[in-house]
Each structure stands twice: as structure tokens, then as C-alpha cells.
Amino acid sequence: MADSVLIFDTTLRDGEQAPGFSMTPAEKLRLARQLEALRVDVIEAGFPIASQGDFEGVEAVAVACRSLTVAALARALEGDVRRAGLALAPAAKPRLHVFVATSDIHLEHKLRKTRAEVLADTHAAVRLARSFTGDVEFSAEDATRSDRAYLAAVCEAAIAAGATTINIPDTVGYTVPQEYAALIGWLRQNVRGGEAVVWSVHCHNDLGLAVANSLAALGAGARQVECTINGIGERAGNAALEEIAVALHVRQDAWPLRAGLALEQLHPASRLLSEITGVGVQPNKAVVGANAFAHEAGIHQDGMLKSPLTYEILTPATVGRERHELVLGKHSGRHALRARLQALGYQSLERGHLDRSYAAFLALADRRKAITDADLHACVRHAAGAALEAAS
């Protein structure tokens, strides 16, 4: 049996931090219910110390979502941890997520603390978090730009204080797959107590590698992946949940891992997020973009009409979409046009009529980006008129 991988959704926390994506507590709750239907393992509902609205959002999700783990974020500060613990109090399965930066860049320029001070802060914050819940996650912010030996020491301090999940974030999207996999493998082998915790990864997309890095880390033994719907998040975003989910589903040979997601809820989740935020996804976005199952080129359309396996590696229904789409444009061939005309009721067009309709269609497609059904009816009528004129 394949190993299990936990899906940690941070759309409501890291995703919401992107400009233009903030949500009210009611909107967070609405999306959280959809994430529960998707069957993610963990929902990170917010950062309670950030605002009263964030506190209320975490609390609302904690009350409503009983079948999964609800997490709240806290810096390695006493006030943050206590505020997060209070927001999570109603949760059936609470997780307190503590983080602190570990790279020398962050220690010097942001925290202005020594390595020894951060080690002490880590131990104290995780131990305090354990007084609220037995499920504590620790994240080493900017882990991929941290000194490896020091990163290991901080992870050991967190584990000694009671952390049950250790997250190694690529906070600024700096790493590459082979490097990240090597880091995860090294930490699993060299951190004392590492065999008793779940290793987690959280990747940003600044170099366009968030999904690739996440999958590489899973191959190296990480068993939790942190991601967001539509890949939203700080700057260029986070690893896209839907892309990771589908990669694990389609390529079991590469990643023999089992995620317990209801894949048919992926597209509804994407659409709901866009509805709530007012921000759509680009048409060519993998899995959930408008063109993800659309085909315009004639060669592709001919293959699709003969067998969808020729140009699709999964069915639209797998991710909750109704059907694939043969888009008619200047690259389309006769087979696609004939199939569409038959769907519109033209079941018995003779070859010459079809050829004339196709010629009219191409002339129109050269001038327009989109061809409607009304345009197709007009092409058929034009072809019929041209035939009558030629006969007379």
C-alpha cells in the first residue's frame, strides 16, 4: 500500500496574505467548508494575532470544521501563541503552528537576534504551544537559506520541546528540486528525534518551482505538503494544491503516495475561491484554468474525437469539470467543425456543403478570436446560399 501524504491547506492564511485576496470571517468559513468537502487533512485558518478579523476567522472555522485539523499560526512569541491557542479552543482537532526565522539574513536584518536567542525562543514557544494542544507544528522560516547545521539544531530544539511536525519552508522560492530533496533527506537522517515527527514542506513560487520542489521533497521522505488553492500566496504564490494532487494521482509510478482528497472537488474549490476574491486564474493554468481541457489545433481535435487519451492524461470529471472542450478557431480542422455542427443539429451535411461551411468558418476565424454557435449557423447558411448561387 502506498504511503500517506498529508495535505495542509494554507489558502486561508498564506494565500490570504497576497494583495487583493483578503477574506472576511464569513468568507473564510465558506471556503473552509469547501476545503472540508475536498477532504484536506489540515486547514490553516489564519494568524490570530494579526487582527480581530483573523482571530474570528480561525475561531469560526474551528467551530464549524470538525472532521479535520484546524491550525493557527503564531510567531515564537508568548503573546502570539496564547492568542492562537485561544482562537483554536473550540476546535475538535487543533494544531498550533509556531514559526521563527533561522537564516542569518533574517536573524541579522529582521529579528536582530543571535542564534542562541532564536534557539531559546523556539524551545519556549513550542513548549508553551504544547500546553494548548498535543499537535504542534514548528516552521523554520527561510530554511533553504539557513546554515544547515544551525537549522538542524533549531529543529532538534523544537522536537525536544514537543513539536510533532517539522516544516522546512522555502520561504522566498529560492531552492531547486534536487537541492531541496537533498536537504530534506539530510535533515531526516541527522536531526535527533527526526524519526518521530512528520516532515513537512512549504514552497513559494518565485522561480516557478514550488510544485516541483514540493514533489521532490515528498520523494525524499517528507509526508506533509503545504499548499493553496489556485497557488495563491505571497508574491508569486505558493505551491498549487490542485497541481500537486493531480500529479500524485496521475504519476503513482513516480510518487507512490496516497492523498485522501476528493479530487472531484478541486474545480469547485478553485471556482469558489475566485468568486470570493474576485480574482480568476489565467486560462492556461494547470488543472483549473479555462483552457486546461480545451483543444483548438486541428490535429489535437482529430485525436480527441478518436480517443481523449491521445491528448489528455486525466478526464475533466476527475477534477470536477463537466467535459473537455473542442474550441473552434483558425487552427481547427474539418473533423472538429463537423462534430460541432452535428451537435447543433446538422446531422447529414453532404461533403461539398461541409467544405463550403469550413471555408466560410476559416474566413471568419481569421478575423475573430471567438466563434459562437450563431456564427456557425451563419456559416452553414452562407454555404447553402453559395451552392444555390453556383447552381443558378
Q: Is residue 266 part of a domain?
A: yes
Total count of domains within the chain: 2
The neighbouring-strand residues paired with 198 are: 165
The pLDDT of residue 96: 98
Confidence at residue 392, expressed as pLDDT on a 0 to 100 scale: 47
Residue 215 has pLDDT above 90, yes or no: yes
Asked whether residue 282 is domain-assigned, the answer is no
Query: Which tens digit of pLDDT belongs to each residue from 148-178?
Result: 999 999 999 999 999 999 999 999 999 999 9
Same domain, 125 and 42: yes
Statement to judge: residues 204 and 311 lie in one domain: no
State residue 388's pLDDT score.
46
DSSP 17-72: GSTT----HHHHHHHHHHHHHHT-SEEEEE-TTS-HHHHHHHHHHHHH--SSEEEE
CATH assignment at residue 201: 3.20.20.70
Q: Are residue 252 and residue 376 in the same domain, yes or no?
A: no
pLDDT in tens, 89-145: 999 999 999 999 999 999 999 999 999 999 999 999 999 999 999 999 999 999 999
Same domain membership, residue 207 and residue 300: no
> Would residue 286 count as lying in a domain?
no
Q: Is residue 283 part of a domain?
A: no
195 found inside a domain: yes
Q: 253 lies in a domain? A: yes
Are the C-beta atoms of residues 285 and 237 closer than 8 Å to each other?
no
44 and 156 housed in the same domain: yes
Q: Closest Cα to residue 2, out of 251, 318, 263, 259?
A: 259
Are 171 and 88 members of one domain? Answer: yes
Do 304 and 222 share a structural domain? no
- Quick check: is 289 in a domain? no
pTM, 2 dp:
0.86
Amino acid at 248: L
DSSP output for 197-230: SEEEEEEB-TTS-HHHHHHHHHHTT--EEEEBGG
Range of the domain at 105: 3-277
Residue 102 lies in a domain: yes
